[in-house]
Amino acid sequence: MTSSKMEEARAWLRQADVDLKLAEESMTERSAVACYFAQQAAEKALKSAWICFAKRPKPTHDLVKLVSSAPKRVRAAWKVEMYEHIALLARYEADTRYPTVRGKAYSAPADHFTPTQAKEAVQIAKRIVGPCRAFLRGN
Strands (E), the chain: 100-102, 105-107
Calpha distance 109→98 (Å, rounded): 7
Overall domain count for the chain? 1
Whether residue 102 is predicted with pLDDT greater than 80 in this model: the reply is no
pLDDT at position 45 = 93
Long-range contacts of residues 69-74, Cβ cutoff 8 Å, at least 24 apart: 70/46, 73/135, 74/46, 74/49, 74/50, 74/135
Tell me the pLDDT tens digit for each residue of 41-77.
Answer: 999 999 998 888 877 777 888 888 888 877 787 777 7
Angle between helices 31-53 and 3-26 (to 10 degrees): 160
Asked whether 109 and 32 are in contact (CB, 8 A), the reply is: yes
Arithmetic mean of pLDDT, 13-27:
97
Whether residue 115 is predicted with pLDDT greater than 90 in this model: the reply is yes
Domain that holds residue 58: 3-138
Task: Tell me the whole-structure pTM to 2 decimals.
Answer: 0.89
Q: What is the CATH number of the domain that holds 46?
A: 1.20.120.330
